[in-house]
Amino acid sequence: MEQNNRIWWKEAVVYQIYPRSFKDSNGDGIGDLCGIISCLDYIKSLGVDVIWLNPIYASPNDDNGYDISDYRAIMKEFGTMEDFDLLLREVHARNLKLILDLVVNHTSDEHPWFQEARKSRKNPYYTYYHWWPVEQETPPLRPSYFEESAWTYDLHTRAWYLHYFSRKQPDLNWENREVREAVYDMMRFWFDKGIDGFRMDSIPLIAKDPAFPPIDRKKYPDLFSSYAHGPHLHEYLHEMNREVLSKYDIMTVGETPHTNADEAALYTDESRKELNMVFHFDHMHLDYDENGKYATNRVPLVALKKVMTQWQDKMHEGNGWNSLYWCNHDQARAVTRFGNDSEEYREISAKMLGTCLHMMQGTPYIYEGEELGMTNADFTKLEEYKDVEALDIFKDFTERKGFSKEDTLHLLHLKSRDNARTPMQWDASENAGFSEAQPWIRVNANYKKINAENALADSDSVFYYYQKLIALRHELPIITDGVYELLDAENEKIYAYLRKGEKESLIVLCNFTDETVEYEVDESVKAERSKLVISNYKDAPEKFASKITMKPYGAYVYYTK
């Protein structure tokens, strides 16, 4: 709702919960809704405004809930619909908002629609999915994100069905109006319960050309990028907005792989009435190599600045809105990947990363445990990995790409999605206070040191630093509204930028290295009456000076009015 021209989701900070790994309340080793309820005061104390839950719907859990067998029921491991209703009430009672994951590119193969569909070609649900009948010979090349091929042959129908993800995640046919109506109906069901929005999974992939023409390999060397932005995509989103979204005071964020900043404007430009914002992947791709995500590269700072700046500029010009994130349930831990998780620099670099992101324009997303500076998992054996993607990568790299077992395990350690899925570290008791039973996935051995209880007892912790960053965003409108301007684009060590308002400005200086850097800020930047509003070093200079000694992973923010 716009109040005095302000829009709540533009000023909000979102906290993302991966329910399976957050808090177990009934001792089965799996996180659940009652566990989340018991931690709401902790989340509230961080100062965030919105909670986003990864999928909580009935699911056989081939992909931890991203394979849904009933959109209107709660996954039995997570609790009941009564538990959900209580959670929603408790969230609202704390003046927080709740958004859910909308996964409608595909269902589970155990969803009744697919169970019906695969009975025969004449079944009314057959056209809810994409099929390639055997008479047309082998289906056109379409790789799956989690398997070699995105086509799996079905004996009953004598046809292959399409699944961009695992074979237990058949893709829905959005060309079919009945499918769209069924999705909109389900969305209304949740909005009528009072939820405050959706994060929309894989949303650029929903639209497909049912003829599946050959992929132009010159245009799409990695093939997957051809999956985004199929025919009628924006018509569907516009229709969804008209029929459902526009009727409620809610927020939407599309997860948009394979989407550049120009394309993102098509989703988020307010006048187009589609989505509020999207999660882009451009900064996630900077450490990829010819084998994609599973690579040993570090992210080069100059390139990082370039893509972040592009998105800041494009969303601002295009009348869109950014979402800001360093990590989520699909990515390595931020401090390990972009900072430094050594004993010496873990906390200081986690705070620097938080500063660099939270002072930008957009809505920041904090992934559970990021506020503690949680690190990548410390798995050494393949058996410790649970993720369908990790198991597929292991197979692909060792059997098809010729990597050794050790090298592949090292790549999984760097990039596996399970790095983000180890149990939330609550305290130093057994299983990190996550569960009384053995957790479904192993706890990181560093939990005795890195945990919420320790963080709450230490006024200098990453937790309290994030609390301060969030409070600043709520206090200073310039963080929401100010125009972003990058300084010193080619500097390989320092990320320096301005936020400019009509009468105010912010100077944000972040050292991405473990070295002390004598830094000279561009001479055009004048800030005589500035004051330091946040820094991860206690002895940071109170007044801005154009020559500044930037300590290792130092972050300094000056505000001028």
Q: Residues interacting with ligand TEU, by CB under 6 A?
A: 63, 66, 103, 145, 165, 201-202, 255, 257, 293, 329-330, 389, 417
DSSP 294-347: S--PPPPHHHHHHHHHHHHHHHHHTT--BEE-S--TTS--HHHHTS--STTTHH
For the purposes of burial, counting CB atoms within 10 Å of the CB of 15, is it exposed (0-12), middle (13-18) or buried (19 or more)? buried
CB of 37 to ligand TEU, least distance (A): 24
Cα–Cα distance for residue pair 183/239, rounded to 1 Å: 12
d(CA 224, CA 205): 10
Interface residues for Ca ion in 11-70 (CB under 5 A)? 24, 26, 28, 30, 32
101 vs 488, which CB is nearer to ligand TEU? 101
**Rounded CA separation 561/540 (Å):** 20
- Dihedrals phi, psi of 336, to nearest 5 degrees: -75, -40
Cα(164)–Cα(223) distance, rounded to whole angstroms? 12
User: Tokens for 509?
Assistant: 């200086």
Q: Of 373, 547, 532, 526, which is closest to residue 463 (Cα–Cα)?
A: 373
Q: How far apart are CA 420 and CA 443, in angstroms?
A: 11
The listed partner (Ca ion, ligand TEU, none) that binds 32, CB under 5 to 8 Å by sort, is: Ca ion
Nearer to Ca ion, 30 or 496 (CB): 30
Report the alpha-carbon distance of residue 38 to residue 250 in Å, rounded. 25
Residue, CB closest to ligand TEU? 66
Q: Is 406 a catalytic residue?
A: no
**Shortest distance, position 257 Cβ to ligand TEU, whole Å:** 4
With CB under 5 to 8 Å by kind, the binding choice for 551 among ligand TEU, Ca ion, none is none
Residue 110 Cβ vs ligand TEU, minimum distance, rounded to whole Å? 15
Between strands 251-255 and 277-279, the pairing is: parallel
- 427 HSE (CA, 13 A, CB side): 10
Q: Which residues pair with 2 in a beta bridge?
A: 7
Looking at beta carbons only, is 436 or 481 nearer to Ca ion?
Answer: 436
Closer to ligand TEU at the Cβ: 68 or 555?
Answer: 68
CB of 31 to Ca ion, least distance (A): 6
E strands in 256-293: 277-279
Element housing 84 (H / E): helix 81-93
- Copy the structure tokens of residue 378: 């410390």
Choose the contact partner of 199 out of Ca ion, ligand TEU, none; CB within 5 to 8 A by kind: none
C-alpha 250/C-alpha 545 separation (Å) is 43
Beta-bridge partners for 364: 324
293 contact choice in ligand TEU, Ca ion, none (CB below 5 to 8 Å, kind-dependent): ligand TEU
CB of 476 to ligand TEU, least distance (A): 32
Sign of CA dihedral 292, 298, 301, 302: negative
Please give the distance of CA 414 from its chain centroid, rounded to a whole number: 17
> Per rule CB under 5 A, is residue 239 in the interface with Ca ion?
no
The C-alpha angle with vertex 311 and arms to 309 and 314, in degrees rounded to 5, equals 105
330 binds, among ligand TEU, Ca ion, none (CB under 5 to 8 A by kind): ligand TEU
28 binds, among Ca ion, ligand TEU, none (CB under 5 to 8 A by kind): Ca ion
Closest separation in Å from C-beta 416 to Ca ion = 23
Name which of ligand TEU, Ca ion, none residue 389 binds, using a CB cut-off of 5 to 8 Å depending on partner kind.
ligand TEU
Rounded to a whole number of angstroms, the minimum distance from the CB of residue 90 to ligand TEU is: 26
**Which partner from the list ligand TEU, Ca ion, none does 369 bind, CB cut-off 5 to 8 Å by kind?**
none
Size of residue set near Ca ion by CB under 5 A? 5
Number of H helices, E strands in the chain: 16, 22
24 contact, one of Ca ion, ligand TEU, none, CB 5-8 Å limit per kind: Ca ion
Query: What's the gap between Cα 336 and its chain centre?
Result: 16
Spot the catalytic one: 49, 255, 370, 418.
Answer: 255
Strand-pair partners of 363: 323
The question of whether 135 is a catalytic residue gets the answer no
Query: Which of 171, 201, 371, 389 is flagged as catalytic?
Result: 201
Kindly tell me which of 416 and 461 has the beta carbon lying closer to ligand TEU. Answer: 416
For the CB of residue 62, give the shortest distance to ligand TEU in the complex, in Å. Answer: 10
Q: For Ca ion, which residue has the nearest CB?
A: 32
Give the nearer residue to ligand TEU in terms of CB position, either 111 or 417: 417
Q: Which is nearer to ligand TEU, 298 or 561 (CB)?
A: 298
Q: State the nearest-atom distance from the C-beta of 416 to ligand TEU, in Å.
A: 9
Residue 106 DSSP class: B
Cβ within 8 Å of residue 502, ≥6 positions away: none
Closest CB to ligand TEU among residues 293, 386:
293
**Of the two residues 78 and 556, which places its CB atom closer to ligand TEU in the complex?**
78
Catalytic residue positions?
A: 201, 255
The residues binding Ca ion (CB under 5 A) are 24, 26, 28, 30, 32
